[in-house]
Amino acid sequence: MSPFVNSTLDPAIWDNNTIRPHIRASLLRIAAEFLIGLNLEVSPKDITLTGSMANFNYNPQSDLDLHIIIDFSDIDNDVEIVKQFLMAKKSLWNLKHQITVKGHDVEVYPQDNSEPHHSTGVYSLLNNEWLVKPTRDDPNIDPATVEKKFNSLAAMIDGILGMPDRINHIANVREKLGTMRKLGLSKAGEFSVENLAFKKLRREGYLDRLASAQLQDRDASLSIAEEGYKMKITKRQLRRIIKEELSLLNESSPSDLYNRLVHLRNEHQREFELLDRLGEDRFKEVIQIRDEILNLGRDDYHAYTVFFGRVKQPYNLFPNVVRNLWDEREMPDIEALKVLKAEHDDLDSKFESRWATNTTDSMYGRKRKEVIHTDTEEVVSTGVDRKGSLGT
């Protein structure tokens, strides 16, 4: 028997090639919760279990791949927009819900019923029957070929990560890896050289390194050095940014997510608060007034007093807020700011602060707080909120 193949299906999930009733009920309940969260009137065509846990090539790290089959055109005729919406929902769901069944993570995936799916094991949870029944044949695998493919890809990734101008290369290689895996699955299934090499890259941390580097470079690209530069963004660019950010969000660790949240707060907290206070339309009006004055070629104290007089009372703004609006010419435009604020608010909901004062802190009169990632309980930040009586 090949080391890649087990002699039976996972006995914790299956009983004589039929899914155990309580496992089936649990997976159907998870799918129902996901569908309810969509807030759409849509009925699934089927709900299936697929991947290695519906096959003989499972291992302790395998996910339970829960596919919810939907006719995307039932939601809207623009199937591509529906797909982007559902993929975003999927990414956020899998990030927020750390659900395990018998020690295996459950990964939810909304699948269009016209989408080709290449798997040698597919079980219908709705109908309680196999759609594609797996066989226990030894796959024709050459470990040396898999290792050679892995080493080639790993060397390519190491080279790209070492480049000074790597941001576009990282996006390209991530797309290339995804395409490579899909082609391998369509050609030879789960045991294709491409899929096995991809899984080893994931186990060895190469995919996490790419995602982390792309996030780091994205932050650097958003930093502006030149005076007087004003950010412009098209709707097409905005959709691409949202897609890439959701991709990064789905692969980031709690610490990465918290660092991103802190970055957004440091860079844009005042703009976020003003957008909340004024609303989108009034915020646009204030910026338009400022730009109209600047477009007259005046950028002196007199121009500022004109701006001050036109916005302070009508928009009920504090003087320091008016000054900040006048000085901060590099502020993102409203569409980009809305995207950043939505990302900030979503990240902010994933963390909470709690007191964590220990015996030593109490001895010195200190109060300690820590920030935790609510889904995983991982501590991402800790600090003392005031000095103790001994100055420690």
How does DSSP assign 138-185, residue by residue? PP---HHHHHHHHHHHHHHHHHHHT-SS-HHHHHHHHHHHHHHHHHHH
- Alpha carbon distances (Å) from 35 to 84, 88, 186, 194, 199: 16, 14, 28, 32, 29
Residues 339 and 359 in one domain: no
pLDDT of residue 243: 56
Report residue 35 CA to chain centroid gap: 19
Helix (H, G, I), strand (E, B) or coil at 101: strand
Is 274 inside a domain boundary? yes
Instruction: Print the domain residue range for 33.
Output: 14-132
Is 2 inside a domain boundary? no
Residues 31 and 104 in one domain: yes
Indicate the residue among 203, 223, 243 that finishes a domain.
223
- Alpha carbon distances (Å) from 380 to 244, 249, 251, 388: 24, 16, 17, 23
pLDDT of residue 386: 55
Is 249 inside a domain boundary? no
Residues 168 and 258 in one domain: no
Whole-structure pTM value: 0.46
DSSP per-residue codes, 275-302: HHHH-HHHHHHHHHHHHHHHHTT--SHH
pLDDT of residue 241: 59
Residues 79 and 184 in one domain: no
Residues 308 and 359 in one domain: no
For tokens 């929902």, name the residue.
Answer: 89
Residues 343 and 355 in one domain: no
Residues 303 and 382 in one domain: no
- Alpha carbon distances (Å) from 175 to 12, 166, 208: 35, 14, 14
Is 243 inside a domain boundary? no
Is 30 inside a domain boundary? yes
By DSSP bridging, strand 64-70 and strand 100-101 are unpaired
Is 47 inside a domain boundary? yes
pLDDT of residue 334: 72
pLDDT of residue 226: 47
Residues 19 and 126 in one domain: yes
pLDDT of residue 296: 76
Is 216 inside a domain boundary? yes
Is 87 inside a domain boundary? yes
**Which residue, among 217, 210, 177, has the nearest Cα to 194 in the 3D structure?**
177
pLDDT in tens, the chain (392 residues): 445 678 899 999 999 889 999 999 999 999 988 888 888 878 899 999 998 899 888 878 778 889 999 999 988 888 888 888 888 888 778 767 778 898 888 889 899 998 877 677 899 999 999 999 988 776 677 788 888 888 888 888 888 888 877 887 888 888 888 778 877 777 677 778 888 888 888 888 888 888 888 878 777 766 654 444 445 555 555 655 555 555 555 556 788 788 888 888 888 888 888 888 888 888 888 888 888 887 777 667 788 888 888 888 888 888 888 887 777 766 666 777 777 788 788 888 888 888 888 777 677 777 888 898 887 778 888 877 654 444 44
Write out the two tokens for 310: 């036109």
Burial class (CB within 10 angstroms; exposed 0-12, middle 13-18, buried 19+) of 288: exposed
Instruction: Give the total number of structural domains in the chain.
Output: 4
Report residue 5 CA to chain centroid gap: 32
**Which residue, among 274, 144, 248, has the nearest Cα to 197 in the 3D structure?**
144
Q: In what order do the strands lie in the sheet with 351-355?
A: 351-355, 367-373, 378-386
